[in-house]
Chain A
Amino acid sequence: MFEHQEAAVRDDTAVRAPDGLMNGNKVPGRGFSDRPKAGLATAMLARLPLAVVAIDADLRLLYWNERAARLFGVPSLMVAEHPSLQTILPGIAGIAPAQQNRIAEFCATRVAAAREGTNEQACRLRLSCGRAGRLGVQTIAMAPGAWMVVFDDGSLAPEAHSAAPNAGDAWLDSLTGLGNRRHFNRVLQDTLDDASSESRHAILLLDLDRFAPINDTLGHSAGDALLCLVSQRLRRELRDDDLLVRLGGDEFAILIQNGDSAAAVATRVGDMLSRPFLVEGHVVNIGASIGVVLFPAPDTTADDLMRHADLALYDAKNAGRRTWRLFEPAMAAEARERRAFETDLRKALALGEFSLAYQAQLNVRTQTVTGFEALLRWFHPIRGSVSPVTFIPIAEEIGCIVALGEWVLREACQAAAQWPNGLAVAVNVSPRQFEDSDRLFAAVQSALQTSGIAPTRLELEITESSFLAREAHVLETLHRLRACGIRIAMDDFGTGYSSLSQLVSFPFDKIKIDRSFIAGLGRKADATAVLRAISALGSGLGMTTTAEGVETKEQAAMVAADGCTDIQGYLIGRPIPASQINLFLCQYILENRPSWMCAGGMEGPEQPRFTAEEPTVTPIGKTA
């Protein structure tokens, strides 16, 4: 903790200054008047970039220079009162409150021990801005009953004891009293500058899990109280020398310099935040995801470190939260690949790399094809065929799904205009498209007008997740669309959250039962029960029910028996390009009569004739 310091003062003129002080001159300068160039010496002492004070045997101040006045934050008027050094020491500007007594004690001890001679020591300090500083203290005996104390505060942040009284606030998080992001960046840069090959430092980036719902349900005052409790728990798990800051929101950062293993700290801190909190009469269970990065690392800047910690944090979140991850270079490579992917995805629309495939939907009772669902395909010249499972979630995340969805609408309606009249076209709408409902409405209108198809032929498939945010707003948009004659289908039914409440909240035209239930038929006893219940529900509410992912004749027979009105899946047809639709329809009518539906008949062609290259089928807006 205490380190020896180079002699702070070498200026003989300054050291001789006490003559004047002993004459009773407390105002800098007057004591030098009897010496040549005394005015210059006085000015030098006053403006020395070191805090210099003179004290008597009772530690009372006889003199201080400008720098000392600034360092201790003492108005110069007080000089006449001869305050004790001990009373002004805790006031050292910028020193963390918890450290004020420590510095006072340190200085007093040093000064007391130095009465008989010269003594130099330095004290390592933590400033209220969280930065580590060092205060050198040198006590020099000058005359009987007078000592000079020189404080070398050069390593303390100049802002910390600048003239502005609230300068420290710029470095502090007002809610928790911890340092802020600016402060963290500053210390990190210093740490990085001072790091040697032996240094073992670490950054821990923390993000609270499930904090937003706490704020939403218990209110901001409870959220703020929780953040304070979190910061206190974190502080207790760290050494005095570890830096803890709140970066903002529910994000905290820890800088560990040559400390405990970062893994141990991450585990400990994670455990502490996983324990329950009691806030304003509520039990709150949260947790933290933590990204860890070790440094110094070759050619790595502070910005790189923060980015790497962020990548590790992202990985921890993806790993299911309440966990920590150490940054690995592979994460940076993944992030680069992800950025390249996003760039390709953004350009794909302009480059015409998207296409639509159409999958037939069949009415069970009439055994006729009623329409096709438009499914988005992406063929990239280098990546090849990219699965919608991969690119749609990313397109939703980066927002290009909106433009993409509009293209799908136009393209699908154009295609449908070429089909025999009466055949419907189903288009998936992403939850993101509901964020700007006017734009969605305009896109639908435009697609209909340009293609000339009747609104009744267009069916929009939406997923339950569309309702997760701004339910009333989404419902209003759906009513507007439906008022134009457009049909609305609930897609992937049964996989989301409160399905039933959404079904009754809007008069859907169709329920599409998720393929997982159809795949479970004959294997899971409850699949049949679920299918029957949904069909009955749909029938009761005046909605048709489409079973998705029907692949075998047995499944088709079962879903028909369970009351589904329509089916879709490989059994009827794989997704095909628009150009093959007329051929498909002709051949379907001629050769692919669904004999499996006729009583006693389980014959007929084993497989439909039409196959597309894509092995998987995932429509736009679906993520699984």
Chain B
Amino acid sequence: MRMTSIRRRPSSPATLYRLIYRSQNDIPAIEIGREIRSILVSSRHNNAANNVTGALLFTASGFAQVLEGPRDVVELTFERIGADRRHSDVMVLSFTPTERRCFPQWWMAFCGQTASVDPFSEQNSGNPPLTNLHTATGGDILRLLEKLIQREDEWIAA
């Protein structure tokens, strides 16, 4: 193995970055409703102040989240979220600079198993399958969230 050191110059802290991670849900079933609400409330509050947007996906197998914003703020936000005991087995699927936000007007979108949107009914309607978050790639999650949010928009508009 060649141990040549490649020093990578860090990007500017203000560069727009997109983070996609997934994790395992550790919230006891009985508290899920309350906890998810609390997560959404605090996320909307914190992220609005920090210019971070994104979307949260909650399924039976866990969480997946997209966060978009200035690099340093996303890093700081993830430092808080990543260490949250309500989830574990946190895996970052992608953390890259991006030209534009995929979720510009959404501070945090909850795509849960609500009446309006359910990732599993997505599959039933012939859309890309996402049987298990643990095998999903960052791209899978991004595409699914974009689709779900469109549907929720339509649902709200209707």
Contacts and interface: CB of A to CB of B under 8 A. Distances in A.
Contact of A279 (B1, B75, B82): B75
B78 A271 contact: no
B79 interface: yes
Contacts of A601: none
Contacts of A232: 79
B137 interface: no
B11 A281 contact: yes
Contacts of B95: 278, 281-283
B1 A276 contact: no
Nearest to A471: B2
Contact of A282 (B2, B8, B79): B8
Interface stretch (B57-65, B85-93, B104-112, B123-131): B85-93
A222 B8 CA distance: 10
Contacts of B5: 216-217
A245 B37 CA distance: 37
Most chain B CB neighbours (cut-off 10 Å) among A219, A229, A282, A283 = A283
B115 interface: no
B8 A278 contact: no
A350 B87 CA distance: 60
Interface string B40-83: 00000000000000000000000000000001001100110011
A259 B14 CA distance: 42
A469 interface: yes
Interface residues of A, number: 28
Contacts of B19: 278
A498 B1 contact: yes
Interface string A446-490: 000000000000000000000111010000000000000000000
Secondary structure call for the B interface: mixed
B34 interface: no
Nearest to A284: B92
A219 B8 contact: yes
A219 B71 CA distance: 18
Contacts of A217: 5-8
B21 interface: yes
Interface string B1-27: 111011110110001010101000000
A278 B18 CA distance: 12
Nearest to B5: A216
Interface string A267-288: 0000110011111111100000
Given A236-B83, A283-B92, A278 B78 contact: yes
A221 interface: yes
A233 interface: yes
B6 to A, nearest CB: 6
Contact of A469 (B3, B10, B74, B88): B3
Contact of B75 (A219, A221, A272, A278): A278
Contacts of B71: 281
B83 A272 contact: yes
A435 to B, nearest CB: 15
Given A276-B21, A277-B79, 8 more contacts: A216-B3, A222-B10, A232-B79, A272-B83, A278-B95, A281-B11, A281-B97, A283-B92
Interface of B: 1-3, 5-8, 10-11, 15, 17, 19, 21, 71, 74-75, 78-79, 82-83, 88, 90-92, 95, 97
21 contacts: A216-B3, A216-B5, A217-B5, A221-B10, A233-B79, A233-B83, A271-B88, A276-B21, A276-B91, A276-B92, A277-B82, A278-B19, A278-B74, A280-B11, A283-B92, A283-B95, A467-B1, A471-B2, A471-B3, A497-B1, A498-B2
Interface of A: 216-219, 221-222, 229, 232-233, 236, 271-272, 275-283, 467-469, 471, 497-498, 501
